[in-house]
Structure 1
Amino acid sequence: MTIYRIPEKTAALIFDIDGTLYSHTKYIKEQTDCQIRRFAETRNLELKKALKMVKSYREEWAKLHGGKQLSMGNVLKDMGVPISESIAWRKELIEPARYLKADKKLCDALANLSASYKLICVTNNPVSVGRKTLTALGADPFFSGVLGLDTCGISKPDVKIFDLAAKQAGVSVERCISIGDRYDIDIAVPLEMGMGGILVDGVKDVYKLHSVLAIH
C-alpha cells in the first residue's frame, strides 16, 4: 500500500473495483483477452495479430507518455472501436460470478469503512458489470453508487468521472480519497484534482484500510 495523500476531513472513499476489491489475476486477464478476441472477430483479424496490435500500441503509447498506462477502453477507442461498442462487448462477455465468490473479510472491512465514510465505486466496466462484481463479492450493500464506462461514455482516468463520483457522494473533491491498484488510472488524476490517493496491491490492502485511516 502506498499512501499519497489523506485529506484532513475525509468524507468519501472512491474505490476502483477490478484488482482492488478482489485479487484474481486470471479473471482480470480474461477481461482484456475476451475484448481482444471480439476485436479480432469483428475486424476479421487473426487473434495473434490482434494481440500483437494491442500490445504494440500500448507499448508505443507508454513510450510517448512517460511510461504511463492506458486503459483497455481507451486502447480500443484509439484503434477505432467506439466506447459504445466496448460497453456492449463487456456487458455480453464479462461474467464475474464465474470467477468470484463472497469475501467475508472484504465485507467486514467495508462495513467498518461505511460507518464513517460514503463509499462509491468507479469502474472502467459498465455499471451493470460493476454491480454484478460487487454482488458476487457480497459487497454491494456497502456502496451508495457505482459509476462506470456507460455513465458518461468516458474511461478512467478522465477528470469527469471522478468529479461525478464526488458529486454522487455529495462532498467536495478535497474530501475524497481515490483508492485503486493502478497509479496512472486510479490515482494520478484524482491527486491533481485535489483528492487524496491510496494505491493498493490488491484486496489484502483494502482489509487494512480502516486501521490505516484511523491513525491519520
Structure 2
Amino acid sequence: MVSAFGKDIRSLVFDLDGTLYNCQEIGEQIQQAAVSLVAESHGLSLAQARRVLQDARHMLTETPGEYPPLSRTCLELGIDLRDFVRVLEESVHPEKYLQPDDNLATLLRFLQERYTLYVYTNNGFFLASKILALLGIEEFFHHIYSLEFTWRPKPDAEALQRLLGEIGGVPESFLFVGDRYHVDLREPVKLGIAVFPVTTSADLMRLPSLLGVTS
C-alpha cells in the first residue's frame, strides 16, 4: 500500500493533550491552575485573574478561534514558565480521570515497530510522563520533548528547529500529528513537513493505512 505522506517517513511526532487523549476535566484543571498562577503573580482575585487571562488570550489571537496555548499566554503576562510547570504539577491530577487505553497502546505498538515515536508538548515533563503512564503508552515513545526542552512553547520556529536537529533527518522523514493546526502543525508545514490533524481517536486509528503499513 502506498503512503499518503510519502515513502521516507521515519519519525512520528505526536502532540499530547487533545491528540493522544481527550479529557475535559484535565483541561479545566489546567485552566484553573493558570488562573491561580496569574492571581498569585499579579496580586489579583481569582475572578480578576480569569478576566486578565481571557483578555490576554483574545489579544494574542490573530485569527478568530485560534487561541494561543495557556503557556504562551502566561509567558506574555510576565510569568516564569518554571512557575507554570510547578503549578501544573501541584494542581493537575490526571490519575482521577485517565486509565489505560488498550486500543491506543495497540496502535502505538504497531507504529513503534516501524517508526520512531516522539511526544512534543507544552506540558512539563512530570505531567506529560504521568499522563502517558496512566494511558499505558509511555514505553512506546523514544523521547518526550516537554516545555523544559527550550522553555519556548509551541508554536515556535526556533524550538521546532532545535527539536528537528536533535532527532535528525530531512523534513521528508517526519510526520507531525496534532489536534490544533495553528499550534501543532503550522510551523512544521512551513518547513515542508507532512502533518496529520486529528479531532477524534478514530482519526488516530487511520494512521497505519495512511502510512501504507497496514498488516
TM over 0.5: yes
Instruction: State the alpha-carbon separation in 2 of the partners of residues 119 and 167 from structure 1.
Output: 15
Question: Given the alignment, which residue of 172, 176, 179 partners 1:178?
Answer: 176
Question: 5 Å matches for 1:71-90?
Answer: 71-90=69-88
| Cα distance in 1 between the residues matched to 2:102 and 2:162 | 29
Deviation at 1:114, TM superposition (A): 0.9
Ranges in structure 2 where 5+ consecutive residues have no aligned partner:
none
Which of 153, 158, 172 does residue 160 from structure 1 map onto? 158
| Structure 1 residues 171-208: Cα deviation after superposition (integer angstroms, max 9, x where no partner) | 22331111011011101001112211111003332122
CA distance in 2, matches of 1:22, 1:159: 25
Aligned equivalent of 1:209: 207
2:120 to 118, 122, 126: 122
The one of 181, 186, 189 equivalent to 1:188 is 186
Q: Which residue of 1 aligns with 2:20?
A: 21
**Helix, strand or coil at the partner of 2:211:** helix
Q: Which runs of 5+ in 1 are unaligned?
A: none
SS in 2 for 1:66: coil
TM-superposition CA deviations, 1:51-80 (whole Å, max 9, x none): 111112212221xx2333311111011111
User: In structure 1, what is the Cα distance between the partners aligned to 2:185 and 2:172?
Assistant: 14
- Aligned CA RMSD, in angstroms, stands at 1.9
**Distance (whole Å) between structure 2 residues aligned to residue 174 and residue 39 of structure 1:** 41
Write the deviation string for residues 144-182 of structure 1: whole angstroms up to 9, x where unpaired. Answer: 000111111110111233334334433223311110110
Q: Residues of 1 paired with 2:118 and 2:162: CA distance? A: 10
Q: Distance in 2 between the 1:187 and 1:26 partners?
A: 25
The count of corresponding residues between Structure 1 and Structure 2 is 210
Q: How far apart in 1 are the matches of 2:7 and 2:67? A: 30
**Superposition misfits of 4+ residues, deviation over 6 angstroms:** none
